Structure 1
């Protein structure tokens, strides 16, 4: 009894120790993952009359090339309105990427992807339907072959029966005559 109590308390201690280690590890890893506060990025308006590269270091900024203004990207609109900057002159993300060309390219790529998906779906449906026609034709050929074999067996059986009737003198001239008439 005393030995049992000792082992149970030893098991309890080891379980508590493992739990404490896991808890300590979680706290340490959570503490290591807490983000350090970085200095707030400078507002886009303060980067005006500098360079495109300096303006676009902040992803929320939009560079207007002719006016050399760095403005906050108008997030309420998908595309920046021409009152902020014409699309052809707007730069966002990379200085060498024309915003208008970026939009056109993305639209074309999206259209190509959609058309490709539709063509693939159409081809899959077409192939499936064509495959079913092949299978239907195969089943039809098998059915016809089976019926012709059955007909040949029936004819062969009928000939054997007629031979047996002939052999035992039970052949009938009129197939509709009664057997008793002979």
Structure 2
């Protein structure tokens, strides 16, 4: 398997371990997140279970029971988790935009695929109709030739057959 598959697997494993630590409330250091209060965001976020509130400069345990931290703990515009340069508001907006783009792309792809399938069916039907039309034309031509030969036989029988005039003008064909 290629290197891309290995790196994707390792990223997923790291993400799983980080989420597992958050879910268990485990902290890397015995003092917990409170020891990083009034320090820097980078120091606080070295522990994946910690949430940095830039407005109060507090480092607190991430509220695992909630997806988003409650406003009583820290406003979304001031909350940082994982990286210091992005707050939860920006994260929510970015994820919404990316999710919307993905949904629109899937919808457009589905529409294009359906349109192609619809365009293929008439082609097959048109082909079938053309084939049937050609078969009918051939059968009609055969019947026409057969009827002409029958009529010629009847004309010969009753002496109505017009023989070619031996004195007819020659044509150069």
**Both structures adopt the same fold (TM-score exceeding 0.5):** yes
Q: Deviations over 1:51-90 (max 9, x none)?
A: 1000000111110001110011111111111111111111
CA displacement at 1:46 relative to structure 2: 1.2
Query: Which of the pair has the greater relative contact order for Cα pairs under 8 Å at 6+ separation?
Result: 2
SS at match of 1:62: strand
Please tell me whether the aligned partners of residues 28 and 47 of structure 2 are also in contact (alpha carbons under 8 angstroms).
no
Of Structure 1 and Structure 2, the greater helix share is in 1
Whole-Å separation in 2 of the counterparts to 1:80 and 1:153? 85
Partner residue of 2:125?
136
Q: Aligned Cα RMSD in Å? A: 1.9
The gaps in structure 1 that reach 5 residues or longer are 1-38, 173-182
Give aligned pairs, total: 133
TM-fit CA distance, 1:135: 1.6
Q: How is 1:94-109 mapped onto 2 (pairs within 5 angstroms)?
A: 94-109=83-98
**Unmatched runs of 5 consecutive residues or more in structure 2:** 1-26, 161-173
Query: Which consecutive aligned stretches of 4+ in structure 1 deviate over 6 angstroms post-superposition?
Result: none
Q: Indicate the SS of the match to 2:77.
A: helix
Question: Residues 118, 101 of structure 1: CA spacing in aligned structure 2 closer, same or farther, 3 A cutoff?
Answer: same
Is residue 158 from structure 1 mapped to residue 147 from structure 2 by the alignment?
A: yes
Q: In structure 1, what is the Cα distance between the partners aligned to 2:42 and 2:74?
A: 17
Q: Between Structure 1 and Structure 2, whose CA radius of gyration is higher?
A: 1
Distance in 1 separating the partners of 2:71 and 2:52: 13
Residues 5-20 of structure 1: pairs in structure 2 closer than 5 A: none
- Map of 1:54 onto structure 2: 43
* Equivalent position to 2:100, from 111, 114, 118: 111
Distance in 2 of aligned mates of 1:92 and 1:147: 75
The two structures have a TM-score, normalised by structure 1, of: 0.67
Task: State the distance in 2 between where 1:51 and 1:144 align.
Answer: 82
The equivalent of 2:137 in structure 1 is 148
Q: What corresponds to 1:32 in structure 2?
A: none
Q: Distance in 1 between matches of 2:153 and 2:83?
A: 99
Contact 1:65 1:90 in 2 (8 A): yes
> Does residue 1:44 correspond to 2:27, yes or no?
no
